[in-house]
Structure 1
Amino acid sequence: MLKLTSLGGAGTVTGSKHLLEHDGKRILIDCGLFQGLKNLRELNWEPLPIAPSTIDAVVLTHAHLDHSGYLPKLVKDGFRGKIFATDATRAVAELILRDSGYLQEKDAEYANRKGFSKHRPALPLYGIHDAERALERFSSVSFDKGVQLPGGATLIFRHAGHILGAATADIDWGGKRIVFSGDLGRYGDPVMPDPVPVPEADYVVIESTYGNRRHEADDPTEMLGSVIERTVLRGGTVVIPAFAVGRAQSLLYHLWQLKQAGRLASIPIFLDSPMAISATDLLHAHREDHRLLPEDCDTICGIATYTRDVEGSKAITASPYPKVVISASGMATGGRVLHHLKAFAPDQKNTILFSGFQAAGTRGRAMLQGAREIKIHGQWIPVLAEVADLPALSAHADSDELMRWLSGFRHAPARTFIVHGEAEAAEALRVRIDKDLGWNASVPRQDQAFDL
């Protein structure tokens, strides 16, 4: 008997962890951090309902923090198996996990120095050393080639689009085939490949980030150009909180397109995120995992001024001239973008432009919902700047695209599980799957177990 339990990413869009069990063996698909609302973030500190030492392997669909960010904690708490991922995912995870460990350590150090933590002393969830120990456990897997997992399972990765290295995971175990979508990308994306269809599955586990929404059909390059040009006309700066991996590189592509068309000629563009700069470098190292031609890739990556050091970042903030600033984090939960928000959000001539999903409980969601103040570094910062949203730039499949990927299966699976979405999005996708495909679909609860 094969058993599926969602230990995270059930009823929420963060913390994805899906456990498969068969004949005494355990495989965890994704191992993400909870983000956003405080009651979700607190779950990161709760012990898993199973001992990490009893997990035989982890399959990682892609490296974003909400899918990979708990790996160092898993290793810290006793996991000793292999982490199976594509080569590009391993490279991206090296950036993300080391950065996460560093930030955890810095946050604990700051809390101890300022004395505002209820814990004495405040400790990080994990540190850089734990991240490096997790990276040592990675085992690279090629796309479209079967690999053996513990307990006799077979894994096949197929391109999912979304970000560099992202994959769907097809696991054949105990006579059953279960396919995990991970995070699916967009069809026709200019940078990432289309999600590859999967022909057969007995069970499907699908994300539902945008399960209740359709992205606008307008040209994202044109929409981005319009936002920048109207801001520049009033003498303002455009600050774009961007996910360092995936979104920052897509933005560079669209900005390059605008420059090619003779627009934004004199407008300086800054990429102010050391991780985003390193992730952009990975486009050169993993050319087979994206659509860009080598010569275009070089030109696209060269249109922005890269800012690695803190002094350079401060100079951007201090400059009164119109410009475009791309900086992490994408939901304005931390990182250098917070300093830019403190500087530019209080002035109505500027624009804060969001280009990706904003989870509940984040500053990004609050601003999109009309918040006129946001708290940064203990201060309440007025938001008088224009706040714009370009969901057409999202790297997540929308409802139609999720259904398109599901329609690639030749036969209806016995059951479809809808995960990694807020409650309304997951339920909307469940209803649509029932209505349009006639499939048996359900939305698992946290820690709910299913015998397959």
Structure 2
Amino acid sequence: MTSLTFTSLGGCREVGRNAFLIESGDSNFLLDYGFEIQNSLVPITIPEKINGFFLSHAHIDHSGLIPVLYKSGYNGKTFLTEATSSLAEMLLKDSIKVQERRGEQPRFLTPHIRKFIKNGFIAKYNQKIRLHNGIAEFYDAGHIPGSCQTLLDTNGKRVLYTGDIKFEETEMLHGADTRIKNVDVLISENTYSYKDHPKRREVADKLKEIIQETVYNNGVAVVASFAVGRAQELLLLLYNLGFDVYMDGMSVEATKRILLNPSSVKNPKQLKKAFGRVRKPRSSQERSRIIKKPCVIITTAGMLQGGPVEHYIKKLHNRPECSLTLTGYQAVNTVGRTLLDTGRYVTEGINEKLKMNVNFMDFSGHCGRGNLIKYYEKLNPKKILLVHGEHSEKFAQELKGKGFDTIAPKNGEKISL
């Protein structure tokens, strides 16, 4: 039997720049090719030969350097879902702007994004994809619209890559598909292998309490959100509370794209109704006008790095009746993480303690440790490789104690499967 190996090009023992190479005989399959944009971390190399590239979802830490593959000479297919193609296109175009704002030379340009989109092979969940050396199949990952787990059946082995995964159903999405069988090798994210998340309903109820208290006190409730997935979930939770609700930033364009792919969400009719009801400010003047009255604003960026949220914080930071709620993961060295750690808003010449009521609500798009372990027990793979997590080594030791053959690979390490 010919060899089957795994090599991490990025995304092991860290969160960001996911890029994993599966070598199966004379075929090379690449799983994700991301960019850790906050700290400009990139995969350690560009593979010389790729026979098939699979994108788990649109987030930049998984998709962010795909155009570089095409810029460097890759002319093959990218296998992905329709929602992922549309959302990745939007996020990649935005990442060019982010790099330019930082004074960096963009790593790719719009023509390279177009080439990626043109070479996309759109696949549905549970559709078998014939490859030169095997079969691939996508399963719902429950993370964001269009996200998928990728099953590679190659060289006599069934290799499952979870991508980013969430099993709990939310207002927006069904939970991940757990009906996959006969997995030999599991490549699993373990972002939250060290903790469990509170129940979604409890978090949603707490957020509503914060917003109601803010508005009743004549304040503005600013809810910082990621553009894809989180903003739409928050919209569904908040649009009918009886207050003026606004949606701002890239989340508006993301919602439009999601609605063009209705099968990517649980209740597209409800999302369309909610999106039609909320208002969308389009200028600084309009943003300044709406905060003169109590209201709710769902806005990007989720880590407070750019986006309209900066405008709102600068206008409202001295108003204790107003609130700022962060709703997702805050990476190290981001404005949001600094605010949570120190209580200070530090960005571009500003270093102030906010008088706004600052909160963090755990609306994670990842599953926690308990659900990860349950999934491993259900799948019962022969080998587990832990990726996309800062606590992988400790979790690997714990899983070994439970009888799983588990490895926490290092970036650059080649492992025989």
Q: TM-score, normalised by structure 1?
A: 0.85
Q: 1:364 maps to what in 2?
A: 336
Q: 1:272 maps to what in 2?
A: 248
The CA RMSD over aligned residues, in Å, is 2.1
Listed as ranges, the matches of 1:94-243 within 5 Å are 94-105=89-100, 107=101, 111=103, 122-149=104-131, 151-197=132-178, 198-217=180-199, 219-243=202-226
Deviation at 1:162, TM superposition (A): 1.2
Report if aligned partners of 2:83, 2:258 keep a CA contact under 8 Å in 1: no
The one of 65, 77, 80 equivalent to 1:70 is 65
CA deviation profile, 1:313-356 (whole Å, cap 9, x unmatched): 4544xx33222211112112222222222223343332221111
Q: 1:55 maps to what in 2?
A: 50
Deviation at 1:311, TM superposition (A): 4.5
CA distance in 2, matches of 1:327, 1:238: 11
1:298 lines up with 2:278 in the alignment: no
Listed as ranges, the matches of 1:300-379 within 5 Å are 300-316=274-290, 319-369=291-341, 371-379=342-350
Q: 1:445 maps to what in 2?
A: 410
Deviation at 1:433, TM superposition (A): 3.0
- 1:276 maps to amino acid: S
Deviation at 1:146, TM superposition (A): 1.1
Listed as ranges, the matches of 1:408-447 within 5 Å are 408-409=378-379, 412-422=380-390, 424=391, 426-435=392-401, 437-447=402-412
Q: 2:77 maps to what in 1?
A: 82
CA deviation profile, 1:105-124 (whole Å, cap 9, x unmatched): 4x26xx3xxxxxxxxxx522
- 1:303 maps to amino acid: R
- Tell me whether 73-82 or 154-163 shows the greater mean CA deviation: 73-82
SS at match of 1:302: helix
- 1:49 maps to amino acid: T
Report if aligned partners of 1:73, 1:125 keep a CA contact under 8 Å in 2: yes
Deviation at 1:103, TM superposition (A): 3.2
- Tell me whether 243-252 or 92-101 shows the greater mean CA deviation: 92-101
- The alpha-carbon distance between structure 1 residues 432 and 268, as it changes in their structure 2 partners (threshold 3 A), is farther
Deviation at 1:187, TM superposition (A): 1.5
Report if aligned partners of 1:269, 1:324 keep a CA contact under 8 Å in 2: yes
CA distance in 1, matches of 2:89, 2:321: 38
SS at match of 1:238: strand
Percent identity over the alignment?
A: 28
Deviation at 1:293, TM superposition (A): 5.5
CA deviation profile, 1:194-219 (whole Å, cap 9, x unmatched): 21112121110111111111111352
Q: 1:4 maps to what in 2?
A: 6
Deviation at 1:71, TM superposition (A): 0.9
Give unmatched runs, 5+ long, in structure 1: 112-121
- Work out the number of aligned pairs and report it: 413
CA distance in 1, matches of 2:67, 2:46: 16
Report if aligned partners of 1:416, 1:440 keep a CA contact under 8 Å in 2: yes
Report if aligned partners of 1:102, 1:128 keep a CA contact under 8 Å in 2: no
Deviation at 1:432, TM superposition (A): 4.4
Deviation at 1:310, TM superposition (A): 5.0
CA deviation profile, 1:6-54 (whole Å, cap 9, x unmatched): 1111111111111111223321101111133x3xx2x33xx74344x52
CA distance in 2, matches of 1:126, 1:310: 30
CA distance in 2, matches of 1:346, 1:134: 45
SS at match of 2:410: coil
Report if aligned partners of 1:204, 1:415 keep a CA contact under 8 Å in 2: yes
CA distance in 2, matches of 1:13, 1:337: 24
Deviation at 1:140, TM superposition (A): 0.6
- The alpha-carbon distance between structure 1 residues 123 and 298, as it changes in their structure 2 partners (threshold 3 A), is closer
Report if aligned partners of 1:6, 1:18 keep a CA contact under 8 Å in 2: yes
Give unmatched runs, 5+ long, in structure 2: none
SS at match of 1:219: helix
